[in-house]
Chain A
Amino acid sequence: MSALLLGMELGLDGEGRVFAIFLSVVWALSGAFAYFYLEADPGRSRFAAFWILSLTGNLGIAFARDAASFYLFFALMTFSAYGLVAHDRTPAAFRAAKLYLVLAIAGEMALVSGLMLAVELAGSIRIAEIAAAIASGPERDLILLLFFAGFGVKAGLMPLHGWLPIAHPAAPIPASAVLSGCMIKAGLLGWLRFIPLGRAELAEWGFWVTLMGVTGALVAAGFGIAQQRTKEALAYSSVSQMGWMLIAFGVGLGAPGAEPLPRVAIWGLAAHHAVAKAILFLGIGIAARVPRRQWRIVWGLLVLAALSLSGAPGTGGAIAKGALKRAMKSGHAPDWLVETLFIATVATTALMARFLFLVHRERQASPKLGAERSLGLWFTWGAMLAVLSFGEFALDLLVGGYRQSWDAGWPVLVGAVLAFFLWRGSWKASPPGVSPVVPPGDVLLPIAGAVQIGLGGLNRAIERERKGPVKKAGALLRAKFSAAGARLEALEGNLADWSVAGGLFVTIGVILGWLLWHGRLP
């Protein structure tokens, strides 16, 4: 493979294997769901083409061993996902897809810049060597900043997450599932691959990263609760859950002795979230299509999946979050940090409750459905639920047999109670279709507006520059030239006169003669 690109090297290590497994499972089952879900869609084959390309990119990232191949698959995934987001071809879908691509490309530019600096530092494009060289290099902080920002756009790092709540809901349901479940993890994998965990030099970074994770987890959950539509709420939930993984990452950065626990905790959180989030998204799709009798079953199963995501005792979520707690303890994280997990779980539970409420409301509001064939949808969705349930055991094996205690239940209970009061108080009464207090995209919207204005001003300035002073200067010069030309013409006319010419000839002849006479030197 060394003749390809800049020396392509593909292979699977342990981490790659974990990601490859859960990514492929979620992609495959979501793809099967999409097959049935989009039966009536005329653009199916288009969707399938973009789907396969994105899938290749997403999986390829797990296999890449050198930076160029990594970026190749990353870019493939990013650009193909445009087709998924824009699938519906409505103006709103195009707007969402454009926003997604603009931010994704900006992130990739930061990412590539970081890669170039890091590759130069390491003297090689092999990822293992790059990660090793970064920690002790002189431009470490710049490189880390670029990596965090570059991968962070993809991974929903606040404040670079603004595109997520706009793009994920704009895509068709199966695409939203893989966008939130799988493609978001590509950013995470980038962090895991390129940023070395457990190095003493990066301890300071660890603190800030953990702080950002906590902020993301809490703030995104808050924004999500304020949403009025199901898919937006789930999108914010994804941002929030990525905050959890960032907390684990920060712990790993800041505590050299804790390795490999934080990394393993991240794997657990990522794998679990991928499956659970996909189930929730696909559940929205099923909820809109099943007849009345089956609706309650759907809602019940969604409740179970939501509980799993929140980390109720007995679920995979609890295992994953337990692993995180253990990693934090082993990394000597301060107590207040461990307590924030409590609040974060409360927030997640409340957000899940909000989601369930919204699903219920949307079902009630939509016209009577039910004649659609939904066997295929049930089959695939059921398979994914099975994966979630049985996957618990696999998760247990992976993160190392964390014995669950019922402590995990307290924050979930608190969250549920909180949600109940919210429901009684404001949710029940507010009408659907209202704009949410926090519009999807939150911080991004004013920034995008400012950029538009800035670019427009720049354009006008350039146009003025081109048309104004330069043209005037050009006209002035031309006028001067023609005036000079006219004068030259007149002068030449004079010279053509015999008397003038003859006189000049004689004068020149005399001067030349004198020079020759006196110029003769010995």
Chain B
Amino acid sequence: MNWGFSVPLLVLASSLLPGLLIFRLQERQHRLRTWLNMLGATLKLFLVAWVIRGVYEGRSFEARFPLSLGLELSLRADDVSLLFMGLSATLWFFTTIYAIGYLEGSSHRNRFFGFFSLCVTSTMGVAMAGNLITFLIFYEMLTVVTYPLVVHRGTVAALRAGRVYLVYTLGGGAGLLLGILWIHALAGPVDFTHRGVLSGLGPEHHGQLIGAFALLIGSLGVKAALVPLHGWLPVAMIAPAPVSALLHAVAVVKAGAYGILRVVYDIYGIEFAAGLGLLNPLAAVACVTIVYGSLRALYQTDLKRRLAFSTVSQISYIVLGTAILGPIATTGGLVHLVHQGLMKITLFFCAGNLAETLGIHKVSDLSGVGRRMPVTMAAFTVAALGMIGVPPVSGFVSKWYLGVGAAQSHEPWVLLVLATSSLLNAAYFLPIIRAAWFGESTAVWPRREAASWETSGAMLLPTVATACLALAAGVLASAEFSPLSVAERIVQRMYRP
């Protein structure tokens, strides 16, 4: 059996098949559903680990199918996709456990978990996409299958949020299609290749290339929450916590940022893009988003909305890393993909814990919760400190690389943006931590049972696990298989002369 061909398909199938099966289940068969979920998640984790090891040993994993018109569906596991695949598989595993605990007793769980699995399938497809058309197919599939998750609760507000979400993302998808068509018209159905494929085009095409770039980035920027296309993100917070965690740490926003990464590195090529003068405007947009997101977050009273704007800001760190020429900045952007995912998912898990166990939705209700839910707030503290950039949590490592990279390419104004953003992060995270640990609790919360944990194990353990991972990624950043080392390896190949 040709493993190189079938493994990418197996990775997709490991969540697609359970998802389709779950749709067929009856609502009361929750044991079977849980089994299917966990089986799929575990299997995917193993497969991705296998792929990672295989790629390190030099094997290639690629599956190609011809579509019509000379286009091909191409699924490939190269080093950049490994980063995203590893992150997605790991976080899906934890989110599945979390969702099982969170949705305990609620209705329509078949529908939820079915679309949940499809969502991860699409994310894996996006990660493994070997060319633009494959990317587009799975990107749009992602849009469609996340809509039912956003409107899961079925309330009027949820439906309205879903509508906003669709308007933004389908608009972005249309723009993406146009952009891809434009690239195909200029250069044919190109694959993602190290160092880009467009540098061979002569100067007469440069104007069009710039236009296509703007269109592509603008369309991908909807999902990547670049200002002013970020409006859907805070509105989508109406979704249940596992969905927010997934959307904001793994699937949707990362897919957008990942797309921007691929376009800049593997379609245009970083040096060619720099030559066309595309990087500075991109960096400017990223900086505006970083500061704007942090500023808006400061004034949110709802916890999840505050975290949403924080995501808007943090995803642009990845875009910023992409937009600065130089290996160190690139490393910073790439590794922030992983680090931000870990930290943000921890924060959303904590928000979900607080909402489900104690009914806390607003920041002002958090006073004194550290005594009632110490483990959750400890995880929140670790992740929040990482967001601010305090060592040894992993957020510090990515910010460090971004800063040193900016210094290397002689753009010290980026340091000012980073410093301002860190200050703003501190301004909206530290009061939460302070209130939780140092405040007096005035509200009446449900009492904790005698010998049990502060909340259900299914919700608590993933929170602790992702917080530990966020911490470990920083403490052990220089170890052999840390996200940082992986990113550095990728960048070495990217900038090799």
Known contacts being A6-B397, A142-B412, is A116 close to B403, with CB within 8 Å? yes
The closest CB in chain B to the CB of A139 belongs to B412
Q: Mark B213-254, 1 if CB is under 8 A from A, else 0.
A: 000000000000000000000000000000000000000000
Question: In angstroms, how far is the closest chain B Cβ from the Cβ of A337?
Answer: 34
CB-based contact B419/A4 at 8 Å: no
Residue ID in chain B nearest A110 by CB atoms: B419
Are the CB atoms of B390 and A75 closer together than 8 Å? yes
Could you tell me which residues of chain B, from 406 to 440, have a CB within 8 Å of some CB in chain A?
406-408, 412, 415-416, 418-419, 422-423, 426, 430, 434, 438
Name the distance in Å between B370's Cβ and chain A's nearest Cβ: 11
What's the nearest-Cβ distance from chain B to residue A230, in Å? 27
Pick out which of these stretches binds chain A: B87-95, B120-128, B443-451, B469-477.
B469-477
Indicate if A201 sits at the interface (CB-CB under 8 A): no
Verify B404–A116 contact, CB threshold 8 A: yes
**Cβ contacts under 8 Å, A105 to chain B:** 388, 422-423, 426
Select one of B388, B400, B406 contacting A6, CB under 8 A.
B400
A-side contacts of B476, CB under 8 Å: 3-4
Question: Which residues of A have CB within 8 Å of B157?
Answer: none
CA distance A463 to B404 in the complex (A): 36
The complex places the Cα of A113 from the Cα of B420 at a distance, in Å, of 11
Interface residues of A in 87-105 (CB under 8 A from B): 89, 94, 98, 101, 105
Contact of B478 among A5, A101, A120, A142 (CB under 8 A): A5
Contact of B430 among A5, A68, A101 (CB under 8 A): A101
B479 and A72 contacting across the interface, CB-CB below 8 Å: no
Could you tell me the distance in whole angstroms from the C-beta of A6 to the nearest C-beta in chain B? 6
Q: Which residues of A contact B400 (CB under 8 A)?
A: 6, 68, 112, 116
Give the shortest distance, in Å, between A453 (CB) and chain B (any CB).
Answer: 16
In the bound complex, residues from chain A placing their C-beta under 8 Å from that of B296 are 462
A116 to B438: give the CA distance in the assembly, Å.
33
Query: What's the Cα separation between A89 and B298 when bound, in Å?
Result: 24
The docked-state distance in angstroms from the alpha carbon of A458 to that of B420 is: 15
**Are A113 and B299 closer than 8 Å at their CB atoms?**
no
Nearest-Cβ distance from residue A149 to partner chain B, whole angstroms: 12
Contact with B along A392-417 (1 / 0, CB 8 A): 00000000000000000000000000
Interface residue? A438 (CB, 8 A): no
Q: Are A79 and B295 in contact (CB under 8 A)?
A: no
Chain A residue numbers with a CB within 8 Å of B415 are 113, 116-117
B295 and A3 contact, CB distance less than 8 A: no
**Chain B residue, CB-CB nearest to A70:** B391
Other-chain contact of A5, B328, B389, B426, B475 (Cβ < 8 Å): B475
Beta-carbon contact of B390 and A109 below 8 Å: no
Contact A109 B478 (CB under 8 A): no
Distance from A98 Cβ to chain B, minimum over Cβ atoms (Å): 8
Q: Which residues of A contact B295 (CB under 8 A)?
A: 458, 462
With A3-B479, A5-B474 given, is the CB distance from A68 to B391 under 8 Å?
yes
Would you call A120 and B404 a contact (CB within 8 A)? yes
A119 close to B (CB within 8 Å): yes
Q: B423 contacts A6, CB within 8 Å?
A: no
The CA of A462 and the CA of B430, in the complex, are separated in Å by: 22
Question: Which residues from chain A contact B392 at a C-beta distance below 8 Å?
Answer: 4-5, 72
Known: A79-B385, A79-B390. 18 other contacts (CB 8 A): A3-B476, A4-B476, A5-B391, A68-B400, A101-B430, A105-B423, A106-B423, A109-B419, A109-B422, A109-B423, A112-B389, A112-B419, A113-B416, A116-B406, A117-B415, A119-B407, A120-B328, A459-B299
B→A interface (CB under 8 Å): 295-296, 298-299, 328, 385, 388-392, 397, 400, 403-404, 406-408, 412, 415-416, 418-419, 422-423, 426, 430, 434, 438, 474-480
Interface residues of A (CB under 8 A from B): 2-8, 68, 71-72, 75, 79, 86, 89, 94, 98, 101, 105-106, 109-110, 112-113, 116-117, 119-121, 139, 142, 458-459, 462-463
